[in-house]
Amino acid sequence: MKKILAIASALAICVAFSFGAKKAAAPVNKECPISGKAVNADQTVDVGVCCGNCAKKVAKDPKLALKAKGNFKKCPVTGKPAKKTVTIGFCCAKCKGEASTPPKEV
């Protein structure tokens, strides 16, 4: 009886983890907004947007995400606080870093 209970518990834990695991969102773009090269699915950034309309605008033109200058808590279109996210892909870590890092103040 203990063996059956242990197996059932292990199975329940496995099922719970499989449903609880969050799947990474696929990037909305096929080309890097900086270089124009093909997107590497491992090099993504979640850009915050305020609404569904802005999410559609950023998905249609990923270069809008570059306006955020690394501040992904505000919508790059309106400047309002972010309530949703759009996953933007880049070709390499250099381009991803360039988009994710705010400009240096002089």
How does pLDDT run along the chain (106 residues), one tens digit per residue?
A: 677 665 666 666 666 555 554 556 899 999 999 999 999 989 999 999 999 999 999 999 998 888 877 778 889 999 999 999 999 999 999 998 888 776 555 5
**Nearest partner of 92 among 51, 47, 54, 36, judged by Cα:** 36
**Nearest partner of 25 among 44, 38, 6, judged by Cα:** 44
Please answer whether residues 64 and 57 qualify as being in contact, where contact means their C-beta atoms are separated by less than 8 angstroms.
yes
The structure tokens 């799947």 sit at: 23
Question: Alpha carbon 23 to chain centroid distance?
Answer: 11
pTM (two decimals):
0.70
